[in-house]
Structure 1
Amino acid sequence: MWSRELEGVCDEEYELDCPACGGGLFVAFGSYGTFAAAGDYVGRGAVGEEGRAELAPADPDRLEGVGARLHRAAVGAGRTQVARALTYVFGEGRCPSCDVVFSVREQVEQR
């Protein structure tokens, strides 16, 4: 599953659904910042700061399983930006619409 989902790391975002309210979210972790947005966050009509909630990265030393393996591989290959992005992919987000905290990884896996 992760072999195909790693494209989101390269794209610096995932398009997910909130597990509580079902609203569409963009989870971004790159050049635009690190946040979950309730709607498009770039271009005409983009949501402003009120439509965004900061992401909480996972502690790299506490990653387990596939998250730990991917992070270790990125660090070992000198891909610091990828390693940093993975801490957000395996961290937590908060829906700006309903305020529920969710596991980004779990929502990516449910896509």
Structure 2
Amino acid sequence: MVNWAQIRDCRFDVDRVPELLERVELQDDPEAWKELGWRLVLEHDLVSPASFAALPRLVRLAERSAEARGLAGRILERAAGHHGCDDRLADCADAIKEFREVLDRHLRARPADYLVPFRALLAVEEEYHWANALEGFTDDINHVDCPHCGVGVTIVIGDFGCYSQVWDGGEEIRRDLRPVAAEVLTGTGRWMHQITVRDGQEVLANGISYLFGKAECPGCASIFTVADEYTSANRPVLR
């Protein structure tokens, strides 16, 4: 049983979240959802004890509510942050397991908002850096350091091309990225690719093949794996 009188939200209030949850449970109230959003996920990616206390109730609504799926996903995308709520997150284990099943069924239905539940599923699988990095591959830009010469390299994957980029003075130098073949993918990349192929998400699947493929550093011509360098720089340290 949640004692809401002792659980503060992102605005340091203890009374509003349970009231708002009751409103969205009784009816699909857009204003209540809007307020819940900024009480449970604050700007700068902050969450609060109330965020995790509310998670099981959001998951129970997630089968029929896009707002619940989205908000639950946003909370979990920030679960690796310094929120000081590890005990409450641990208490959500059953709800997170249920959320995984809800998301998988929803993704199989190929919804128009596919990227939102896909990112939520990545967070459920504790792939927090990918949950926060994927933008749909229309014009994704990531920054990594070349593991050989240390120069900052911009990785672009999208409608305008798939390439690595550095600037030498005023001159732009590009090199085409090298996508990885599906049968060579392993681990998280393989899982991400298989899910998106299963669900007919060609743009995402193609982007993932570049994300987990090879890049040439335009500065020193060395070859490295894009995902490895991004992961090493961005994977949060789980407590």
TM category (shorter chain) comes to 0.7 to 0.9
CA contact (8 A) 2:142 2:155 kept: yes
Cα shift at 1:13: 2.2
1:55 equivalent in structure 2: 177
After superposition, the C-alpha distances for 1:10-29 in whole angstroms (9 at most, x for unaligned) are 16221111111111111111
- 1:87 is aligned to 2:194: no
After superposition, the C-alpha distances for 1:46-95 in whole angstroms (9 at most, x for unaligned) are 82xxx001111000122111111000111122211010000011110000
One of 228, 231, 235 as aligned partner of 1:106: 228
Aligned partners of 2:171, 2:159: CA distance in 1, in Å? 16
CA contact (8 A) 2:129 2:231 kept: no
- 1:73 is aligned to 2:195: yes
- Classify 1:23/1:62 alpha carbon distance in 2 versus 1 (closer, same or farther; 3 Å): same
Cα shift at 1:6: 4.1
State the aligned residue count: 103
Q: Which runs of 5+ in 2 are unaligned?
A: 1-125, 234-239
Aligned Cα root-mean-square deviation (Å): 1.8
TM-score by length of 1: 0.83
- 1:21 is aligned to 2:146: no
CA contact (8 A) 1:75 1:83 kept: yes
- 1:4 is aligned to 2:129: yes
Q: Which amino acid aligns with 2:204?
A: V
CA contact (8 A) 1:74 1:83 kept: yes
TM-score by length of 2: 0.40
Determine helix, strand or coil for the equivalent of 2:200: coil
Select the structure that is richer in strand. Answer: 1
Aligned partners of 2:197, 2:153: CA distance in 1, in Å? 28
1:42 equivalent in structure 2: none
Percent identical pairs in the alignment equals 27
Aligned partners of 1:72, 1:62: CA distance in 2, in Å? 12
Q: Which runs of 5+ in 1 are unaligned?
A: 40-44
Determine helix, strand or coil for the equivalent of 2:134: helix
CA contact (8 A) 1:9 1:85 kept: no
Determine helix, strand or coil for the equivalent of 1:84: helix
